[in-house]
Chain A
Amino acid sequence: MNNDQCYHCGEPNAKTKIVFDDRTFCCHGCKTVYEIFSTNDLGYYYQLEQNAGATPDPITGAYDYLDNVDIISKLVSFDEDGVQVVNLTIPHIHCSSCIWVLENLNRLHNSIKNTQVDFLKKKLRVTYATEDYSLKELVTLLARIGYTPNISLKDYEQKSATVDRSLIYKLGVAGFAFGNVMLLSFPEYFEVEEFWLEQYKVVFRWLMLVFSLPVVFYAASGYFVSAYKGLTSKMLNIDVPIALGILALFLRSAVDVVFDFGSGFFDSLTGLVFFLLIGRFFQQKTYGFLSFERDYKSYFPIAVSRLQQNGNEENIQIYEVEKGDKLLIRNQEILPVDCVLLSGGARIDYSFVTGESQPVRKEAGDKLFAGGKQIGGVLKVEVLKSVSQSYLTQLWSNAAFAKNKASDFLTITDGIGRRFTWAVLSIAFVAMAFWLFYDATKAINVFTAVLIIACPCAIALAAPFTLGNLLRIFGKHNFYVKDTNTLERLAQVQTAIFDKTGTLTSASENTIFYEGIELSKEESSLLKNTLRGSNHPLSRSLYELLDAHEIKTLDEFQEQTGKGVLGRHDQHSIRAGSAPFVGTEPDSNSFDTAVYISADELYKGRFVFKNKYRKGVREMFVELSKNYSLAVLSGDNDGEREKLAQLLPLTVPMHFNQRPEDKLAFVEKLQETKKVLMVGDGLNDAGALAQSDVGIAVSENVNVFSPACDAILDAGRLADLAQFLRLSRNGITIIKMSFVLSLCYNLVGLYFAVTGQLRPVIAAILMPLSSISIVAFTTLATNFLGNKLKKQVKT
């Protein structure tokens, strides 16, 4: 038994550990969860995985809005005969213990009928009887055992997105037909003049024709549609020669069979479509638990408490909030609108918006912006603007959010597709013209043979397999890229822009330094003893910083919530807290969080909390500056300029006081000449992330928060960004090498085709051979690159 670790959540135990049932816990929350589990025969939870739990969040009235029938009816996916089914997203799901305990939830309440976990999507589906149970009780139960569900506006709006399984069906159809056609065409390969084979050849061929019909008209339909779209928009994408090849294969084979000219190329046809679809399937690596489309709706609560004229509270949906309404904002609730603080001790955490996690203190009469989270007591606010009109949410009406980056981008494969199509068509026509003079009976044969053999199957497979594999390798290193298209854009980036707060700096770690008159030994001892009594996060970090002193019993101790602490011992007193509390003026030039100190009612100085820069930021900038032009944009004032200048290479420009729109405009201006990569973290970067060619969101907990973006990077991997960028460029090189390889195969095939010797068996060998060798080459090459990355990361 490890006594230094909490038995439930694995956090190191604080000095005030709790011992219960021979086990140690870091806090009462964890102990309570353990009690719930152990009294309900769920102790196996702790045997499956060690320390799998999470400390439950304090919940007081947080889910009151779930009493509202309208809201419930929009959240549940099934509601009939006293049974409701609801799908909840639970970010904490991370191991087998989680699956086990959540699927045995019915032991905690009899009304819960059935629960099912989707691990990769981090979703829980619960069926429960509504007779003596409700959604609110269910959610509260989950929160109490540390599995707090994430209920947001987004769930509210789109309850059931239908899953698109068409690719799997198509793959099934193509694979089914491919296997059967191969079997049926096997006798033809040997060209034996055997009596019974000759007898039934025709039956076999007609059967193959029948099998190929669903392949051409269903499984390959995507290629025809895409080719048609490409042609109408005058863009020869790679699907044009593919569709041409499939069509030529099918028509030629059908004619062969109907007029009994030969066996046709059905094996090549079905094989081609099957391989192409495998490529598509491989390309789509999805991170079910991540969302790249999140906007403010994912974070905003779905309901708030409004104060009625008569003083009663009611829960209303946030779209119903109007200007002039008075709202109650409780602890841990997010402000959905811009408003004015009427009363209450406001400490607003704007980390969703700016990445800065130290809460900001606000007084009555101050303006509060949407997106901030209240920490502490209950606030009363008056609404200034409705949800969609608020400062932050207005950003989403910008055109940058409407454009589709993927469709405006010409991929490397489509780029080669254009030249390829022209080359193939001209070869086909020249060859046909030649044979018209030489032997007119063969002309059409040669023409179709060229189209068939030149079908760029291998070229079309190179990019999906290379990029798809890179996507998986990146994912293993906690860099989650949305799709292969993004990866290609990433390789072309020339400029990288960084947000400062929350991106380059850590949101959770601080450096603390002291400004002012040095504290004497007695004063510092008194301060430490005073801080011991306070549970405020700033007090805790300051307490850890100060040197150890003997423990004294204070004569007097006072803690005023939201203001500070006061301690008195032997005629001396000390105050620590906000500027007014210690009797001084706040330093208006600095926006950093500070704790002011006075001894014996005399102002001494202040402890300033500054965000710490992440590890390896300097090295990353040095590495990146070799190949990219860089810039730093910050929404803060330029107080950090000097410190940042020491960290960055001299050539990196820094811009301060940038509002969200400014960041967007900055990116837009750069895009006139360059491809821009934006690296940011908060909702205030969302505009720039959407506008940039590639927007990467840096996140300390990828499950919880990130604005809409193209890729999500785990904050711990920020230092490796240069490696990721280099790897994506290497990936493009691999694709180009595969193109050369597959062109070699095509040249061999074209030799047979142009000279009129292309027999089905040659096509049936050449086509899979080229495809498989391309797949093998790209997979091996990318894995080789991936291993290099692993080594670099380790050292």
Chain B
Amino acid sequence: MSVIYVLLTISICVALIFFIAFVLSVRSGQYDDAYTPSVRMLFEDELVAPTPKENNNQNNSQTE
């Protein structure tokens, strides 16, 4: 009946994986700004699809 030990080990391992994921996400700064991403995801990408920049020479002075 030692299967319960196996189950316990697995369940704790799973719990620990999630816990480590949580710590890593906090460390990477995910929780520092909890507001901006909620706005950012609503922007519609298709409206800003990059078009070839032929007419924006007024700000760009880079040499290629």
Is the A/B pair a real complex? Answer: yes
Interface residues of B in 1-20 (CB under 8 A from A): 1, 4-5, 8, 12, 15, 19
Q: Which of B19, B44, B62 contacts A132 (CB 8 A)?
A: B62
CB of A200 closer than 8 Å to a CB of B: yes
For the complex, would chain B's binding face be called helix, strand, loop or mixed by DSSP majority? Answer: loop
Q: Are B36 and A119 in contact (CB under 8 A)?
A: yes
CB of A670 closer than 8 Å to a CB of B: no
Q: Are B15 and A119 in contact (CB under 8 A)?
A: no
Q: Are B36 and A120 in contact (CB under 8 A)?
A: yes
CB of A434 closer than 8 Å to a CB of B: no
Contacts of B47 in A (CB 8 A): 44, 47
Interface size on A, as a range, is 35 or more
Q: Are A165 and B26 in contact (CB under 8 A)?
A: yes
Bits for A15-46, please: 1 = Cβ < 8 Å to B, else 0: 00000000000000000000010011110100
Interface size on B, as a range, is 35 or more
Q: A165-B27, A169-B26 are in contact. Are A40 and B59 (CB under 8 A)?
A: yes
Q: Are B48 and A109 in contact (CB under 8 A)?
A: no
Q: Which of A44, A119, A203, A207 contacts B35 (CB 8 A)?
A: A119
Contacts of B62 in A (CB 8 A): 109-111, 132
The distance from the CB of A337 to the nearest CB of chain B, in whole angstroms, is 37
A746–B58 Cα gap in the complex (Å)? Answer: 73
Contacts of A117 in B (CB 8 A): 36
Chain B residue nearest to A288 in the complex (CB): B33
Contacts of B48 in A (CB 8 A): 41-42, 44, 104
Which of A95-103, A454-462, A464-472, A618-626 lies at the interface?
A95-103
Q: Are A118 and B36 in contact (CB under 8 A)?
A: yes
The distance from the CB of B60 to the nearest CB of chain A, in whole angstroms, is 6
The distance from the CB of A26 to the nearest CB of chain B, in whole angstroms, is 22
The distance from the CB of A238 to the nearest CB of chain B, in whole angstroms, is 28
A48–B62 Cα gap in the complex (Å)? Answer: 30
Chain A residue nearest to B18 in the complex (CB): A176
Chain B residue nearest to A123 in the complex (CB): B33
Q: Are B63 and A132 in contact (CB under 8 A)?
A: yes
CB of A172 closer than 8 Å to a CB of B: yes
Chain A residue nearest to B39 in the complex (CB): A96
The distance from the CB of A294 to the nearest CB of chain B, in whole angstroms, is 21
A121–B32 Cα gap in the complex (Å)? Answer: 10
Q: Are A36 and B26 in contact (CB under 8 A)?
A: no
Interface residues of B in 22-55 (CB under 8 A from A): 22-23, 26-27, 29, 31-36, 39-40, 42-44, 47-48, 50-51, 53, 55
8 A-B pairs besides A96-B39, A196-B1 with CB distance below 8 A are: A39-B58, A104-B48, A118-B36, A119-B33, A120-B35, A132-B61, A199-B1, A200-B4
Which of A's residues lie within 8 Å of B, judged by CB?
36, 39-42, 44, 47-48, 96, 99-100, 103-104, 107-111, 116-121, 132, 141, 163, 165, 168-169, 172-173, 176, 180, 196, 199-200, 203, 207
A sample of 21 cross-chain residue pairs with beta-carbon separation below 8 angstroms, ordered by A number, consists of A44-B44, A44-B47, A96-B39, A99-B40, A108-B59, A119-B36, A119-B39, A132-B61, A132-B63, A141-B59, A163-B32, A165-B26, A165-B32, A168-B31, A172-B19, A172-B22, A173-B19, A176-B19, A180-B15, A203-B8, A207-B8
Ranked nearest first, the 7 interchain pairs of A and B with the lowest CB-CB distance are A119-B36, A118-B33, A40-B56, A96-B39, A44-B47, A176-B19, A120-B35
